[in-house]
Structures are given as structure tokens and as C-alpha cells.
Structure 1
């Protein structure tokens, strides 16, 4: 049964290549329990909060930075409407670091579960069932490595994700600013042409 469970992810990927989806679902649920069929769904759903945390932190930091710039520039009469490219890049880095550090224990548990399944395939010996659940993976990490074990590999994950996220948010800020400028220019052009048409 454990060997079948380890091959569940492969079977679910093959569902799309077989005759019908209904027949494949019936086959999957006849061989596995509902819990086994959706094993790993909980941790995947949990990890969807990573971008939410990232964008929330980015927006909060952006608002604070813009308020600070606005309070400094009150005497000059100008008000900054968007971030500079460098500021957006730095805030993107910080926000992704916060999101990754917050959700990394769940990422580590997911990797531990996947590693347990791939090790089982190679050795043909089933591992204890507890390690294939979120709570089992958390207990195994805690028992073997302690609290710091939940953050093992965090540096590599940050290096992998922070640069791309920072670039994405920097480009997003520049596109947002350019879009607003283009919209105002287009609106002004339409209004000027409308006035010219009325006067003609």
C-alpha cells in the first residue's frame, strides 16, 4: 500500500494522458483512500500565502516610504507618486525575504515529504507512514535537526527567489507609473482634440 501511495503523484500526472478523466478518477479513488489521493494538498494550499505575504509587505513598505518622502517634500510642493527603480527593487527584495522566511518551514516539510517518497522508490523499502504527513515531517525535522532544521537551505531558497521577485516588482512599479502617464496623456489629448473639434 505504501509503494502504491508513493506512486500516486505519478499516477495523477498520467491521468491526463489516459482515455477519460472520469475513468481515471474512478481508478485513483478505487485504489487509494481520499486522504491518500489528496495527500500534499494541504501544504500546497498553505504555501499559496507566500505571494500574499510578499505583496502585502511590499505595499505596506511602499506606503510608508511614499508617506515619508511626501512629508519631506511638502515644502517643495512636489509629491512622489511612485517609487524609484532602486527603491522598488530593494523593497521587493525585503518583501520576498520576509515571505520566504515566514513560509520556509512549510517548504522544508514539503521537500522532506517528497524526499521520503523518492527515497522509498529507490530502496523499495517503505518508510514509516508518519513522515509522509505534514505533522510527521515536522516531527521528523524537529527530532533530527531541532528548530534550525526548519530553516536548513533557506539561503539557497532566498538566492533562488529574491532576485527574480525584486526585478518583477521593480518592473511592475515602472510599468504602473508609465501606464498612468500614458493614460493622463491620452486623456489630455482627447480633451484637447474635443475642444478643437467643437471650436472648428
Structure 2
């Protein structure tokens, strides 16, 4: 009889299992940076003139220190006209691109106004593309690290609580954290051509909130 009782208890003591589930962690940050892509294009007869005219804009952009400039590119390419299948250069097209960030909308407005004032000819275009509010990259990364830490410590606490509730030894076996940057659905974006901003204040979208979230997958082992 004692042998039978021992045999019946073995499966109970040997019984172990895994628990797998997902949990969402999120945090909302206020938009703190106004970002746009500034594109200046110029057409003229010679490559030298195009380069000189673009350099006027380039110097002005670099001299304005109230905004942050990134990823500046400068290129000039020939324009062709075909006659009897033979290409002929009829002018040159130059393009200057910058990503511009500002913590204050009035500085962005002032910057764009100053650049637009340099536009004197019809063959010059000043375009402000994707004007939008965002969260600074360093702020985003710090918040993301804190969310990861929160997910790890929560998993350990949950394993301890589960151990107490079911009277078993439960441990975190694995945590997979997939990160997604979930911006608000109503995030404002706008595109403005040179004609709409010439000698006027640019219409600035309203700053909102940006939601940063992670959705870790937990695997707990209890025995």
C-alpha cells in the first residue's frame, strides 16, 4: 500500500509546465522637436552659375545657428534635350537638401523666411517638405531603455507572485522584446511649396503626443 501511494505521488511532484503570454508597456512623450526637409532647386545655363547660386543658399543655411541642420547634400546635373536621338545639354539643375530641426516653432518660421527671401528668380524653388513634430532621438532611446527595464523587472515580480499563488517554483525562462514606435494616429504632417511660404509665416502643425510601446513575450517555467 505504501508503494502504491508513493507511485501515485510521483507524477504530481514531477509535474512541471511553461506559461507563455504577452504584455504591453507604453509611455507617452510630448513632441519637442519640429522637423522638416528643406529642398532648394535652381536651373541655369551653366554648371558654374548653378553652383554659385546654390552656394548663396548654403552659406545662409549654415550661418543660421538657431536651428539644427543635418544631412546636407549638394548636387548638380545636366539637363538634356534630344534631337534626332542625339542628346544635347541645354542647362543644369542644382539641388541642395537639408534636414532641419528646431525646438521652437518661431525659430523654424524665422529660418524658412530668411531662406525664402533669397529666392529672386522663377527658376529657383524653395520647398519645405514633411513639416512635423517629433520626439528627439536621444529622449526616445532613453524612454525605450526604461520600458525594457520595466518589462524585465515586472516579469521577475510576476514569477515570484505566481510561485506564491500556486505553490511552485516559477522562473522567467525567456523574454523576447519587440519594439515598435507607435505614433499617434493624428500626428500632423504637411508639405508646403515655395509659393505657399513666400514672404509669409509658415503654418506650423500642432505639437501632440507620441506613444512609445513595447510588447514583450514572456515564457515562465514552473516546477
TM-score, L = length of structure 1? 0.29
Higher RCO structure, 1 or 2 (CA under 8 Å, sep 6+): 2
**Structure ranking higher in helix proportion:** 1
Larger radius of gyration: 2
**Structure that is richer in strand per residue:** 2
